[in-house]
């Protein structure tokens, strides 16, 4: 029996709408799987679901940090696993929804984090690698581990620090990140043709501007928030450049659209390479998606029963 469902995919692929349909159909509760939706007051730019859109479904881990606070994948893993147990204890189905691949992966698989400080051997090794390979190679290595991180390739200090944090987690003997599932999970991915996705992203950005994104970011800007994790998010950093006088508003919006498209491409790459996913056509109707999910669910249950019988016979 499926214990946890995750719905993943690039920005603007329709994850929110599908999650509500699934939660209603299967008696689920939804857990945020987006690294930026944890922040209060960052609603429009993160495409956070509005209360009137929730359809009476309980949503968890939204608005749990102030924008000036940091938030790590290790913290997320701990909170979500606790929330999964809590939801299951109520007889409900946990449904993780979001596009931050590393966050979702860290919860569903045996992805371990060290509680010790980064050791000097790791730090020295990364520094030596930087000297051998150069900043570009180190930045590519970082993006392979976490494509959601937004650090300029030339900012080697921040690139190395991010690598230290990510690589301080336990690894398999072969060096790959842990891939052993810890739940009986079903991961659903929404696939969108590239042209359609880019149109959706452009339309979403225009909609965000009409909904008051400029005002939302201005409030953060005027509060004095600068070099913090939250405002590095797409949709915020571009408008900060506008308020700083670096870009015109038109230039900032164009960069926001461009960066969103690049981010969507990185999301696709991560999901396709890191997790076993049932990919659905995002342009299909809700009933078609639900029918395919049910077929997959039933087939998996049948296979699991066969495997269990085989173990019993042996």
Give the tens place of pLDDT for each residue, 229-245: 899 899 999 999 999 99
Q: Distance between CA atoms of 9 and 265, rounded to whole angstroms? A: 10
pLDDT score, position 175 = 33
Q: Is 180 annotated as a binding residue?
A: no
Q: Is 16 annotated as a binding residue?
A: yes
Q: Which of 9-13, 154-158, 174-178, 262-266 has the lowest mean pLDDT?
A: 174-178
Q: Is the dihedral of CA 218, 223, 226, 227 positive or negative?
A: negative
| Whether the Cβ atoms of residue 134 and residue 68 lie closer than 8 Å to each other | no
- Look at residue 169 and tell me whether its pLDDT is greater than 70: no
Q: What is the Cβ-side half-sphere exposure of residue 155, based on CA atoms within 13 angstroms?
A: 10
Domain boundaries, the chain: 4-113+176-309, 120-167
Q: Is 13 annotated as a binding residue?
A: yes
Q: Is 212 annotated as a binding residue?
A: no
pLDDT score, position 190 = 96
Residue of 261, 258, 215, 269 lying closest to 239 (CA atoms): 215
| Residue 194 Cα to chain centre, angstroms | 19
Q: What letter does residue 177 receive in the DSSP assignment?
A: P
Give the max Cα distance, the chain: 72
pLDDT score, position 180 = 85
pLDDT score, position 308 = 53
| Whether the Cβ atoms of residue 18 and residue 95 lie closer than 8 Å to each other | no
β-sheet bridge partners, residue 93 = 28
Query: Looking at residues 66-92, what average pLDDT do you find?
Result: 93
Pair type for strands 28-32 and 185-191:
unpaired
pLDDT score, position 205 = 98
Q: Is 137 annotated as a binding residue?
A: no
pLDDT score, position 111 = 82
| Whether the Cβ atoms of residue 142 and residue 151 lie closer than 8 Å to each other | yes
- Select the CATH number that applies to the domain covering 4-113+176-309 from these four: 3.30.70.270, 3.40.50.1220, 3.30.1330.10, 3.40.50.300: 3.40.50.300
pTM assigned to the model = 0.79
| Whether the Cβ atoms of residue 154 and residue 135 lie closer than 8 Å to each other | yes
pLDDT score, position 172 = 36
Instruction: Give residue 73's pLDDT band: very low, low, confident or very high (50, 70, 90).
Output: confident
Q: Distance between CA atoms of 279 and 300, rounded to whole angstroms? A: 15
In our burial notation (b when 16+ CB lie closer than 10 A, e otherwise), range 286-298 reads eeebbebbeeebe
Q: Is 260 annotated as a binding residue?
A: no
In this structure, what token pair is assigned to residue 73?
């994948």
Q: Is 168 annotated as a binding residue?
A: no
pLDDT score, position 310 = 45
pLDDT score, position 166 = 72
């Amino acid at each position: 029996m499926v214990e946890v469902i995750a719905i993943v995919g690039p920005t603007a692929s329709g994850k929110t709408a599908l999650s509500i349909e699934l939660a209603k159909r299967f008696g689920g509760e939804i857990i945020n799987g987006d690294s930026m939706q944890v922040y209060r007051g960052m609603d429009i730019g993160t495409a956070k679901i509005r209360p009137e859109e929730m359809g009476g479904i309980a949503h968890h881990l939204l608005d749990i940090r102030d924008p000036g606070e940091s938030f790590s994948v290790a913290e997320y893993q701990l909170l979500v696993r606790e929330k999964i147990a809590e939801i299951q204890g109520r007889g409900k189905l946990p449904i993780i929804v979001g596009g931050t691949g590393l966050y979702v992966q860290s919860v569903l698989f045996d992805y371990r984090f060290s509680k010790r400080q980064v050791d000097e051997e790791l730090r020295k090794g990364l520094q030596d690698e930087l000297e051998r390979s150069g900043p570009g190679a180190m930045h590519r290595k970082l993006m392979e581990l976490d494509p959601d991180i937004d650090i300029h390739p030339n900012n080697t200090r921040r690139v190395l620090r991010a690598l230290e944090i990510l690589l301080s987690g336990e690894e398999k003997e072969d060096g790959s990140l842990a891939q052993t599932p810890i739940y009986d999970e079903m991961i659903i991915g929404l696939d969108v043709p590239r042209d359609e996705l880019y149109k959706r992203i452009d339309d979403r950005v225009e909609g965000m501007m009409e909904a008051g994104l400029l005002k939302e970011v201005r409030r953060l800007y005027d509060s004095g928030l600068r070099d913090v994790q939250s405002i590095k998010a797409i949709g915020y950093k571009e408008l900060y450049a506008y308020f700083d006088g670096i870009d015109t508003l038109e230039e900032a919006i164009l960069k926001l659209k461009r960066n969103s498209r690049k981010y969507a491409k990185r999301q696709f790459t991560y999901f396709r390479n890191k997790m076993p996913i049932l990919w659905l056509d995002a342009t299909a109707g809700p009933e078609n998606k639900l029918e395919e999910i049910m077929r997959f669910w039933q087939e998996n249950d049948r296979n699991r029963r066969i495997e269990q019988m085989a173990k019993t016979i042996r």
